[in-house]
Structure 1
Amino acid sequence: MTNLDRFSQGLPDQQEARVVGECIACGGEVYEEELVWETDEGLLHDRHDCIREYIADFAIKKVAG
């Protein structure tokens, strides 16, 4: 059976969490135990706007068809 105890604690308090890096898209702090994407360039917050900004640096947005 899957253990879901980690969800009973909630997310770590950012005031107490240790900073472990910086998001390459927004420049914000990345905290210990925070969910992130790791790329060759660095870390990305797991947020739509950070991922979108990162992709926009090397992709072309267009209408499919």
Structure 2
Amino acid sequence: MSGPLPGPRPGPPPRRWATEETDEGEHPAVRAAVQALANAEALAPADQIAQYEAAYQTLRETLATIDQA
């Protein structure tokens, strides 16, 4: 039996980060990087790469400053 292939299935609902329910202890740069990753989901795959690289760099720099503190 042949027929049209089903379209993409929706994924599971996004999991909430433990820190989403409270702003206590959050770092603004980390929050921005996570939000950029969430926003990148709507982009074409080729455009996502720049977003992922920018978020990665932000997280690396943020962790480096935390380690120095």
TM surpasses 0.5: no
**Larger helix percent:** 2
Greater strand proportion: 1
Structure number with larger C-alpha Rg: 2
Higher relative contact order, chain-length normalized (CA < 8 Å, sep 6+): 2
TM-score w.r.t. the length of structure 2 is: 0.27
